[in-house]
Structure formats: C-alpha cells, structure tokens
Structure 1
Amino acid sequence: MTIHTPIQIGGISLKNRLIMAPLQQYAGTPEGFTTNHHTEFYSRRANHVSLVIVESTAVSDSGRLFNNDIGIFTDHHIESLKKITEAVHAKQTPIFIQLSHGGRKSSPLVTKKLMAPSSIAYDEHYGLPEAMSLADIQQIAEQYRLAAKRSVMAGFDGIEIHAAHGFLIHQFLSPLSNQRIDSYGGSPENRSRFLKDVLTVIRGEVGKNYPITIRVSATDYVKGGLFPEDIARMLQPLESELDAVHVSTGGLVSAQPNHIYPAYQVPHAAIIKQHLKIPVIAVGIINSRSLADQIIQDQLADIIAIGRPLIEDPDFAAQLLQ
C-alpha cells in the first residue's frame, strides 16, 4: 500500500490516502459567514487530495473559537457554505465539515456565555468559565444536531467532530479540565458521555450511512492528562458509530512537546490504531512522499493529512503524490 492506494471512509471512496486537514482561515465575517476567500481557497486546493476537511465551524454563537472564524449556528449560514461544497465538488473531490464548540477556549470577543465542564480557566485571556448545567449540556448537544442537519443541507459529504486542541469535547474528556462529580465526570465512561451524546444526536440526524469522523488530541503532554491509550479506550465503545479517527495532540493546557520533528504525532496515531478497526488519520509535518508511504506501509496510520504546506503552496499535494 502507498498513499495512492484507494480507501473508504464510511460510504465515501477516496481516490488516494492524502487528505487536506482543517486549516483556520481567520477570514469569516463578524456574523460567522464564509466569504469568497473560503470558496476560492478550498476549491484551489481540492485538485489532488482525495478529501477536503473545512476548518473548524462553530455550532453555537457562544462557541466560536475566534471572532473571525466561521459558523453554522443558523440556517442563514447554509447558503454561503454551500458555495464551498459546490466549488470543491466541481473538482470531483468530497468535502467534510468540522463541527466545533470552544467551551472555555471560546473567543472572549464574541462569546456571550463562557461555559465548560468545570469552572476551571484555560488562562487569564479567556477568563473563568461557568460550569455547565445538565440543561446546558442538552442545549449544546441539540446545537450539534442542528449543525449536522445544516451540514447535510449545505452539501457536505461528511462531518468531523472536533474533540481536540482543548475545545469543549476535549475539555470533557480530560480529567485536567473535567472535575465534575455527576454522570459527566469522574470515570472515563462518564467523561466521554458528552461525546457520546453529541455523536448519538448527529448520527440520529444524518443516518447510518453518512460518514462521521472525529479529531482527537491523543495526549495533553502533562502528567494527569490524557494519553493515546486513554483516548483509544474511550473511543472503543463508540467505534461502531464512527468512520475514522483523526489524531492530533495537545491544546488543552499550555504544555508542548519537547521536540517537534517530521511525523512527530504519528507514534500517537499508531497506538490508537492498535486498539481500533476504523481508519486512522495521521497528521503533523508529513511532508515527503517517502515518509508518507512508509507510514502507510508500516501500518502506523491509514490516511495522511496535510495542512500548513497547502497554505503556502496550493499544489503541494501534487508534489507529494508524484
């Protein structure tokens, strides 16, 4: 197998194993709408990859990651997002949307109510969040359901649930940010309950054949936080409802890896792959054909995602596939 070998994500056939990772554009309107920039940006980079994943898209006006990111928290957002899906489909490439809520890392510039599993601040910039009530949890799960419904209406071929980089679902998963004593905190099963709720309502909305993937941070890079084995065990009971897992790292706290090098996150993806049967997507400075092929051949991951190089060079994927 090489990155040229086709693969399936749910019911979607990918022509190769090179996909475009979500890339934040910081170009949304104050109301969270996409612009011509987004349509042109994603369309231009859809020529050679087998799948485009659109940047983090907020399910709530109080869950936006940045004041200039994009959202899907009203029906009015559908039209502008549909321009992106149509432009990418014109390149014969499928496109997924990444659905997110920032939780305690929601932008202070646009957030009306800062919420998190527990009242623990990320830092002084974001401020102290309010611990979510059960009603809050139900409300945000419903926002994910409505976002999923709008995603289908906008023409997306699949959904990626953003459960990485310290945002809301990640905050529930990690004991560093989740110190609840109810059914949503404590044990790994309880800490993954909110993710299960979100996945259940999305799956119920889109049906069993619509692809749903998840992006996770495999490690918090600090003692007491999550590690790849923890993530794998939390995903195993949910695996039947997922079609792939996209493995990144960090973001929950300020801790960083000691050394960043080509494919530095792949070992974490490889551990998760040992525990799951669904395809595993690896990302993180995988910038040569030989390295990408080696990861696939050694069965460390099934799919390679590239991000930042595509910002600088829209044709980078073509070079990698040569």
Structure 2
Amino acid sequence: MTLTVNDPIRLGGLSLKNRLIMAPLQQYMGTPEAYAVNHHIEHYGRRAKHVGLVILESTAVSSNGRLWKNDIGIYTDRHVEPLRKITDAVHAHQTPVFIQLSHGGRKSSPEVTDSLVAPSAIAFDDHYGTPKALSLEGIAHIIEEYRLAAKRSVEAGFDGIEIHAAHGFLIHQFLSPLSNTRLDAYGGAAENRARFLKEVLFAIREEVGRDYPVIVRVSATDYCEGGLTPEAWARMLKPLEPELDGIHVSTGGLLPIQPNDVYTAYQLPHAAAIKQHFNIPVIAVGKIYTRTLANRILEDQLADCIAIGRPLLEDPDYAERLLILEERVCYAG
C-alpha cells in the first residue's frame, strides 16, 4: 500500500488524522507578561482544521528563559487560562495540539532577562552577552520549572509536549560540546552532556505519566566541525527512546552560522539519518512544500511526518490544498 501524507499515524497513544503537522513558529504577539492574546487564538484556530497536529510556538518555562520580549510563557498559573483558549480553538476542529516548552539559556532575550545563564560562560554573540554558568542548584531549579510547565500544559488542555532541544537554546547548549565545557556530571562525555535533557524529560514524565505524548525537537547539525551530528544525536537519544514518542528534526542555531544553501527539503537528509536508529516517528521539516515531495519522503521511509511552517503562516488554507488537491501545490517562499 502506498503511504501518503493523508494517512493517519500514532504519536504514542495519540492518533493523528494525517501526517501533516503545523510547525511551531513565533508570532511575536505576547504581552509584556508573556500572556497569549486573541491573535494566538485566531491564528491557531484558523489553521487547525486540516492538519493532523498543531505544535504551538516556543513557550517559555521561566521568566528568565523567554526567547524574545514578546513571546509567550507558561511559568505561572496565570498563563494557563489564555493558553486554554488556544487549545479550545484548535480542538474545535477535532485536531490535537502540542505545546513546545523552551528555555533560551544564553539566547534568552536581553530585554526581559534578569539573569542570563547557560551550561558554560560562553557567549553566543555580543548582542546577548556572556552568560553565567549554571550551578547545580540552578540546574535543579530549571528542571523543576519544566516539571511545573508540564503540569500547567495538561491543565491548559494540551494533548502533548514538544521539548525544545534545538536552535541553540538551553537544552541544545548542554548537548553540544561547542557550548558545554563543564567538568562535572553535566559535561564532558556525551552521556553527561545529555544528562540535562534526560532529567528534564524524566521530570516531565513524573508529572504527565507515560501515556501522555512527549516528543523532542533537535538540531541535527551545528554546521561547525566538532559540533553535533545526526550520529551523535542518535547515541544520546537512543537511551531515552522508551520515554519519547517522536523526534522532530531541524538544524542549526547553536552558533551565528547559517547553512551554505537552503534548498528544497535541505534538512531531510538529517532526519533520514536519525530515523534509521529509532522505532518512534521522525518528523521532517524545512521547505517541504508540495504534496508530491511529501508523499515521496513518506513512501521512501525517510521520515514519518511532515511539518510545514511558513506557508501556513502566510496562507491559513495551505494545508487544505496540499492534502486535498491532487495537482502540485506550489509555494514561492
């Protein structure tokens, strides 16, 4: 039987009606206190009808971990009700919605961050400045913030969680040897560098249980010699596979370095390389904008789901055309 983007799939115990996922993209519309607003309700609700899953934009677990001054957070109980209005709007279309939990670490917004922290005192660039290396107590505090964020995520009606371990933010900073030079249990060998992610994942599982879907977003390459690769990711994530329900594969962000060429499906080889090591679904993302290409990726078993971002951002009906129309759907972005 030919596999297509229209076919259902399971992420853990959750059944998706198709394999097209709305990728998380920031809206830059949160209040100064990091609350979601009517824009978010309308934006996600408008796009939820045809996709199999919506993943909310990056949502901060800490007041000192916001990625931008106008993003949203889930670091107090007061954030729950505005987020519940988003999940209600998505659920009105019988579509599940995940929240992406994040902490910016050394890439937290200078405008709203009181204390810039990271695994090591290594700056991303001059704009952010040099962070303070986290103490063991500081690490434990942030892990607890993830646990509380997971608790609030369930209260807000989310159907699952995506742990943001990509794009150079805090968990990614711990994982890469280019940003983690610690000499304690959280640095050095790959097993130690993966400890922070492991403890965040286990703290979330403690709160939500094993049946609640949890996936992780990764940057498969740092685009720099000595950085992370798909093979390195596979070694670090394989021991965590029993606690994960999917892997969402992106690239870059750890350093102010861009890929040499951003072409159609440019991140797909990294997703395919990671997929061969795992039995859980792998999500490919990155300029996969046509039904023909999406179906070929799935049929060739290079990935299990396709995430799209910018086309949906600019055209809320894009998913409908991609899924329903047989002719080629083109996007010029």
2:200 to 173, 185, 198: 198
Equivalent residue for 2:21? 19
Equivalent residue for 1:91? 93
Instruction: State yes or no: 1:54 paired with 2:61.
Output: no
Q: Deviation at 1:257? A: 1.2
Equivalent residue for 1:141? 143
Helix, strand or coil at the partner of 1:204: helix
Where has structure 1 moved over 4 Å in runs of 4 or more? none
The alignment's TM-score, normalised by the length of structure 2, stands at 0.96
The alignment's TM-score, normalised by the length of structure 1, stands at 1.00
Equivalent residue for 2:132? 130
Distance (whole Å) between structure 2 residues aligned to residue 233 and residue 320 of structure 1: 35
Amino acid in structure 1 at the alignment position of 2:135: S
1:64 to 66, 72, 83: 66
Helix, strand or coil at the partner of 2:30: coil
Helix, strand or coil at the partner of 2:239: helix
Distance (whole Å) between structure 1 residues aligned to residue 258 and residue 113 of structure 2: 26
Distance (whole Å) between structure 2 residues aligned to residue 32 and residue 257 of structure 1: 31
Amino acid in structure 2 at the alignment position of 1:224: G
Helix, strand or coil at the partner of 2:99: strand
Equivalent residue for 1:177? 179
Instruction: State yes or no: 1:165 paired with 2:172.
Output: no
Q: Deviation at 1:261? A: 0.7
Equivalent residue for 2:191? 189
Distance (whole Å) between structure 2 residues aligned to residue 105 and residue 254 of structure 1: 11
Amino acid in structure 2 at the alignment position of 1:69: D
Distance (whole Å) between structure 2 residues aligned to residue 125 and residue 106 of structure 1: 11
Amino acid in structure 2 at the alignment position of 1:300: L
Q: Deviation at 1:311? A: 1.1
Distance (whole Å) between structure 1 residues aligned to residue 103 and residue 24 of structure 2: 15
1:272 to 267, 274, 283: 274
2:287 to 282, 285, 304: 285
Deviations 1:173-228 (A, max 9, x none): 00000000000000000000000000000001001100000000000000010011
Amino acid in structure 1 at the alignment position of 2:166: A
Distance (whole Å) between structure 2 residues aligned to residue 75 and residue 223 of structure 1: 42
Equivalent residue for 2:297? 295
Distance (whole Å) between structure 2 residues aligned to residue 174 and residue 262 of structure 1: 27
Equivalent residue for 1:250? 252
Equivalent residue for 2:329? none
Distance (whole Å) between structure 1 residues aligned to residue 256 and residue 226 of structure 2: 14
Distance (whole Å) between structure 2 residues aligned to residue 132 and residue 284 of structure 1: 33
Distance (whole Å) between structure 2 residues aligned to residue 173 and residue 167 of structure 1: 10
Equivalent residue for 1:231? 233
Q: Deviation at 1:254? A: 1.3
Q: Deviation at 1:85? A: 0.3
2:318 to 298, 309, 316: 316
Helix, strand or coil at the partner of 2:276: helix
Q: Deviation at 1:319? A: 1.2
Helix, strand or coil at the partner of 1:4: coil
Q: How many residues align?
A: 322
Distance (whole Å) between structure 2 residues aligned to residue 246 and residue 277 of structure 1: 14
Equivalent residue for 1:109? 111
Distance (whole Å) between structure 2 residues aligned to residue 5 and residue 57 of structure 1: 29
Equivalent residue for 1:153? 155
Helix, strand or coil at the partner of 1:151: helix
Q: Deviation at 1:304? A: 0.2
Helix, strand or coil at the partner of 1:13: strand
- Identify unmatched segments of 5+ residues in structure 1: none
Helix, strand or coil at the partner of 1:161: strand
Equivalent residue for 2:331? none
Deviations 1:213-245 (A, max 9, x none): 000000000001001111111100000000000
Q: Deviation at 1:5? A: 1.1
Greater shift in the superposed pair: 251-260 or 192-201: 251-260
- Identify unmatched segments of 5+ residues in structure 2: 326-333
Q: Deviation at 1:13? A: 0.3
Deviations 1:59-118 (A, max 9, x none): 000000000000000000000000000010001100000000000000000001000000
Equivalent residue for 1:80? 82
Helix, strand or coil at the partner of 1:190: helix
